[in-house]
Structure 1
Amino acid sequence: MNSPNSPSTAPRYPAPELNDLPDDIKAKILEVQEKAGFVPNVFLALARRPAEWRAFFAYHDAIMLKEESGNPNGSLTKGEREMIVTTTSAANGCLYCVVAHGAILRIYEKKPLVADQVAVNYRKADISPRQRAMLDFAMKVCLHSDQIEEADFEALQAHGFDDEDAWDIAAITAFFGLSNRMASFSGMQPNPEFYLMGRLPKAPRPA
């Protein structure tokens, strides 16, 4: 018997049609489609509630696209931000976010194996000691945020992270805790395109 969230059953929360959306949301989604070549399912799934969509993506952009959002704090690279998302989303059992953000992680880091590695066991992954310390902190925020103490900040500082970086790690982890739960409870499925992105090097262009 199919579960309520099985891909083969009708969705409980069907995504709205693009042309039925408010103009500002439609324009942003079309920008994403132009850049990526497809529309990630999260953009349409959350658009059923436009006010929440705007709030969600405003906060997403503030913590994940700092250069574009004008927020200068912190030193995390784009790849490190995606590494946090992929690792903590796996801990939360979120299929959509692991697959989608794992794809972006592979592209930013130019490492085809890294997303699978950090999703399964980041302590055994081919990442730097700095990144491992970052993920130690992220996972403690993810699973035991009430137990964060001074020693956790000191462990980050030993690898060159400051208090603003710690805030970023925590904010990304917490925000995607929300995203993970919304995606999982609603049965959101990753786009097929995400599964193969960044796994093989691009073929060189003909001379």
Structure 2
Amino acid sequence: MERNAPVSRFGTVEVEDLPDDLRERLAPVVERSGFTPNIFRALGRRPAELRAFLDYHDALMTSDEGLSRAERELVVVATSGANGCPYCVVAHGAILRLRTKEPHLADLVATNPHGCELEPRQRAIVDLALRLALHPAGFGEADLRAARDAGLTDDEIWDVGSITAFFAASNRLAHLFGLRPNDEFFTMGR
């Protein structure tokens, strides 16, 4: 992806031009990170869709029940790598690096998810996400059994599945938009 490419094929909206509720909702993200993630600027063209995106994203990614927040990001990186989504690999790879303090994990999972060394629990999470991302029609009881045998609870399996499904949609939006990752993501957590 070219550094001077537009952020999105369909243009963007700056935070200050969004409806009040979205400006208020994004303010903590912008304050914490120091920039506005480009996905929010792109989806800002359709405020109702941005609201829905944020609602489902936050329900999946900010829960303190089930998977840890780092494990949730691991699912995103594995799914986004499988779907060839540079924006989500770069953005969520940065978040995974920050949450785990492991500078190589995100890159290894995104580029070689089947071959990289992972802790057994991480392996079960990544394998489940990849199965759902790459072979959803073949998903079944054997996959559930393998995840359970690895120690994942049904709620954690649900988390992996829901996050994988949500980011399959998000990855496709990023492809549609030709979404360019923010430069800031590339150096975060390194």
Per the normalisation by structure 2, the TM-score is 0.93
What displacement does 1:102 show? 0.3
The structure 2 residue matched to 1:168, chosen from 159, 164, 177, is 159
**Aligned position for 1:96:** 87
Select the structure of larger CA radius of gyration. 1
Give the Cα separation in 1 of the matches to 2:6 and 2:48. 28
Unaligned runs of 5+ in 1: 200-207
Compare 96-105 and 140-149 and name the one that shifted more: 140-149
What displacement does 1:17 show? 2.9
What displacement does 1:9 show? 5.6
Compare 119-128 and 90-99 and name the one that shifted more: 119-128
What does residue range 46-195 of structure 1 map to in structure 2 within 5 Å? 46-67=43-64, 72=65, 75-195=66-186
Aligned length: 190
Unaligned runs of 5+ in 2: none
What displacement does 1:47 show? 1.0
State the identity %: 48
What displacement does 1:167 show? 1.0
Counterpart residue type for residue 111 of structure 2:
V
Compare 146-155 and 122-131 and name the one that shifted more: 122-131
**Aligned position for 1:31:** 28
Q: 1:11 to 1:111 in 2, by over 3 A?
A: closer
Please give the root-mean-square deviation of Cα atoms over the aligned residues, in Å.
1.8
Per the normalisation by structure 1, the TM-score is 0.86
Q: In structure 1, the residue corresponding to 2:32 is in which secondary structure?
A: helix
1:17-53: CA deviations, max 9, x gaps? 3222100001122221111111111111111101111
